[in-house]
């Protein structure tokens, strides 16, 4: 397995491989066993045998096809809205001479700080058929508000606008990678702005754009937050929410782990198909795209008379999708009972909801749990993926074993969160490690989910460091571990810092995994928000949302505060 006698490295490799198998493969295997072994009132592993009853139930039930259809419509609709907005803003901000570019840029990214649950809460109140700000305002002008937010369409609208800012980052990244000389060549050949865009820029961008679309389709297929919150009231279920409700039935019924597992495997298959498509597109995209020297800014397209209409359109979109929900969130958090915004209503504003949050005796425990859970997730995810990245990029392990480890670590990218949730429930019901019902099982499940992203990011960072920098250290008399500590670790610090922030944010935002694994003693922020929503305590819910958004905004701006001396490495 190892090239030259370096027993310590091969022991480390075996340990890391074992841990990754334990985190990634064991739950999946348990899930597969559960899908053929658990039936009706029986938990998996309670009796021997293989049954196909769950698959028959799933395949015969017309509801399954309804779920598939809902999931597909939801994913396609949300992706079209989200990517459409992202492409518009990316083109406007990255490639044209639109004024107020910085303002637009920051405004587009603001929703990243708002957890999807909170964003959905805000919209549900804005568009509430009876008291919602929008219908009521329109009614004052005699305009009826014809659509209901409590519908599949409403879910699509909320999810689509929520993912626009994440999609913006990917689309803008792809746009920035297009070699500007290709466009300049077209201009030299006498083609105008419009022709260059249609005949050069967009065709070059197409594979990358398609990869982004597939990526977000995958995100939407597996997401739980928005369909969970809106769908509950709207009576619309998609695959991910159905799996959750099967394992958390209302009215004292027994959870149906068998059917849930079979559905979960269906979801895994869909996700794996999408991820295969995504990888293929990514590979095609790379052939087209050349990374140009950093710091180079291609000349911008002059908008001329289109400047004003486009600016109005952009600001209008941002007011609707960012400013309005944010305003609603803050406004509602300051009111015990909802009042239509007016000068008179200002007198009623108070911080009572915030005070209630502070006075809530469980709140301290929730905060402590959230911190413990997210820090533990960061520690497990980062140490494992840093080791995987090192072992798969530079270590003296043979190539085939390195490839196996990398594939294994990247697998969770294709496993939906709700599936990881149910797989961990089923695994730790049986495994005699006493972490069931604690924050540690949540942290472990989240680590499984996030290890794919951090491994990919740290591997990319490793590949940017010339191997000679490590070889020079070996030649200077340092061994592999001293080399890691004195050369690699300092050089990887920016990438590691970025990953820490990313994992922290995701761990705090993540809902469905925590929801499936928490117990009354291991409540975290996201499950608390879910509870407040189910109990309808809107003012506290919105106050908590404001606080979370502020915390996340602080975390998001951390990478920009990195010390100057780390700036030489592209992050």
Partner 1 sequence: MIVVSQVTKTLGEDGERTAAINDVSFTVENGTIFTLLGPSGSGKTTMLRCVAGIETPDRGEIALGDTVVYSSARQINLPPNRRRIGMVFQSYAIWPHMTVAGNVAYPLVGRGLERSVIAERVERALTQVGLQGLADRDAPNLSGGQQQRVALARAIVDEADTLLLDEPLSNLDAKLRWQMRQELVALQERLGLTVLYVTHDQEEALALSHRIAVMRDGQIVEAGEPLALFEQPTSRYSAEFMGLANFLPCSVASDARPGERAAAQTAFGTFVGRVCASEGQTPELFFRPHRITLLSGEFDAGTSDTGAGIVSAVSHLGEVNDVTIRSGEQSARLRLRSSSIPRVGESIRFRLEPGCAMIFVPQRVAV
Q: Are 120 and 225 in contact (CB under 8 A)?
A: yes
**Smallest distance, partner 1 to C-beta of residue 18, A:** 24
CB closer to partner 1, 122 vs 473: 473
DSSP string, 117-132: HHHHHHHHHHT-TTT-
Write each residue from 447 to 466 as x if it is in contact with partner 1 (CB under 8 A), else as -, in one continuous string. -------------------x
Crossing angle for the helix pair 439-463 and 399-410, nearest 10 degrees?
130
Write each residue from 466 to 495 as x if it is in contact with partner 1 (CB under 8 A), else as -, in one continuous string. x-xx-xxxxxxxxx--x---xx--xx----
Write each residue from 82 to 121 as x if it is in contact with partner 1 (CB under 8 A), else as -, in one continuous string. ----------------------------------------
In angstroms, what CA-CA distances link 250 with 239, 246, 247, 253, 256? Answer: 18, 9, 10, 6, 12
**Smallest distance, partner 1 to C-beta of residue 8, A:** 11
List the beta bridge partners of residue 2.
397
Structure tokens at 264: 């979960």
| Range 400-439, binding partner 1 (CB under 8 A) | 400
Q: Which residues contact residue 82 at a Cβ distance below 8 angstroms, ignoring those fewer than 6 apart?
A: 159, 160, 161, 162, 163, 164, 166, 167, 216
Among 1, 3, 61, 276, binds partner 1 (CB under 8 A): 3
**N residues, the chain:** 571
Look at the block and give the residue holding tokens 């990029």.
Answer: 393
**Smallest distance, partner 1 to C-beta of residue 396, A:** 9
Q: Are 204 and 178 in contact (CB under 8 A)?
A: yes
CB closer to partner 1, 69 vs 466: 466
CA distance 183 to 189: 10
Q: Is 29 in the site for partner 1 (CB under 8 A)?
A: no
CB closer to partner 1, 188 vs 475: 475
**Phi and psi for 54 in degrees, rounded to 5?**
-60, -40
CB closer to partner 1, 6 vs 286: 6
Among 50, 106, 188, 399, binds partner 1 (CB under 8 A): 399
CA angle 173, 165, 70 (to 5 degrees): 115
CB closer to partner 1, 478 vs 537: 478
CB closer to partner 1, 69 vs 472: 472
Count residues contacting partner 1 (CB under 8 A)?
Answer: 26
CB closer to partner 1, 29 vs 474: 474
Look at the block and give the residue holding tokens 């975390």.
Answer: 555
**Smallest distance, partner 1 to C-beta of residue 424, A:** 37
Q: Is 565 in the site for partner 1 (CB under 8 A)?
A: yes
**Phi and psi for 6 in degrees, rounded to 5?**
-125, 75
CB closer to partner 1, 2 vs 182: 2
Q: 3-class SS at 237?
A: coil
Structure tokens at 509: 């935002």
Q: Is 309 in the site for partner 1 (CB under 8 A)?
A: no
**E strand or H helix at 196:** helix 193-196
**Smallest distance, partner 1 to C-beta of residue 482, A:** 7
Instruction: List residues binding partner 1 (CB under 8 A).
Output: 3-6, 399-400, 466, 468-469, 471-479, 482, 486-487, 490-491, 565, 568-569
């Amino acid at each position: 397995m190892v090239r030259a006698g370096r027993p310590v490295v091969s022991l480390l490799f075996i340990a890391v491989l074992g841990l990754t198998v334990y985190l990634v493969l064991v739950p999946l295997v348990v899930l597969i066993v559960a899908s053929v072994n658990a039936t009706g009132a029986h938990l998996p592993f309670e009796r021997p045998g293989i049954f196909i009853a769950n698959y028959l139930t799933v395949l015969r039930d017309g509801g399954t096809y309804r779920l598939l259809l809902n999931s597909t419509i939801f994913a396609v609709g949300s992706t079209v809205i989200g990517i459409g907005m992202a492409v518009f803003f990316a083109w406007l901000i990255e490639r044209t001479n639109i004024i107020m570019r910085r303002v637009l840029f920051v405004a587009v990214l603001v929703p990243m700080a708002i957890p999807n649950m909170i964003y959905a809460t805000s919209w549900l109140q804005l568009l509430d058929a009876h008291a919602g700000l929008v219908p009521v305002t329109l009614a004052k002008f005699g305009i009826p508000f014809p659509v209901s937010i409590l519908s599949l369409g409403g879910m699509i609208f909320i999810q689509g606008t929520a993912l626009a800012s994440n999609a913006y980052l990917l689309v803008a990244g792809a746009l920035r990678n297009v070699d500007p000389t290709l466009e300049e060549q077209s201009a030299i050949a006498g083609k105008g702005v419009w022709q260059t865009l249609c005949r050069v820029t967009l065709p070059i961008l197409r594979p990358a754009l398609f990869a982004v679309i597939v990526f977000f389709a995958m995100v939407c297929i597996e997401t739980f937050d928005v369909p969970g919150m809106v769908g509950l009231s709207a009576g619309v279920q998609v695959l991910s929410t159905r799996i959750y409700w099967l394992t958390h039935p209302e009215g004292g019924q027994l959870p149906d782990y068998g059917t849930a597992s079979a559905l979960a495997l269906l979801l895994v298959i869909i996700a794996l198909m999408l991820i295969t498509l995504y990888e293929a597109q990514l590979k095609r995209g790379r052939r087209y795209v050349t990374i140009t020297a950093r710091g180079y800014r291609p000349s911008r397209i002059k908008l001329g008379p289109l400047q004003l209409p486009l600016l109005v359109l952009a600001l209008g979109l941002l007011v609707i999708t960012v400013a309005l929900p944010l305003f609603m969130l803050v406004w509602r958090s300051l009111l015990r009972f909802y009042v239509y915004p007016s000068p008179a209503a200002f007198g009623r504003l108070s911080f009572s909801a915030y005070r209630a949050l502070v006075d809530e005796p469980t709140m301290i425990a929730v905060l402590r749990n959230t911190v413990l859970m997210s820090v533990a997730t960061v520690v497990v995810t980062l140490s494992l993926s840093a080791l995987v990245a090192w072992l798969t990029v530079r270590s003296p392990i043979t190539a085939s074993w390195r490839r196996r480890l990398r594939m294994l670590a990247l697998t969770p990218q294709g496993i939906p969160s709700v599936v990881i949730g149910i797989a961990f429930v089923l695994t730790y019901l049986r495994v005699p490690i006493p972490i069931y019902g604690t924050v540690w099982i949540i942290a472990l499940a989240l680590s499984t989910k996030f290890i794919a992203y951090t491994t990919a990011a740290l591997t990319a960072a490793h590949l940017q460091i010339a191997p000679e920098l490590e070889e020079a250290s070996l030649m200077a008399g340092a061994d592999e571990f001293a080399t890691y500590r004195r050369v690699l670790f300092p050089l990887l610090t920016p990438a590691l810092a970025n990953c820490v922030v990313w994992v922290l944010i995701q761990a705090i935002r993540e809902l469905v995994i925590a929801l499936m694994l928490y117990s009354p003693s291991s409540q975290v922020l996201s499950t608390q928000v879910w509870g407040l929503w189910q109990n309808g305590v809107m003012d506290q819910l919105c106050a908590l949302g404001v606080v979370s958004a502020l915390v996340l905004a602080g975390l998001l701006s951390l990478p920009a505060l990195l010390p100057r001396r780390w700036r030489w490495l592209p992050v």
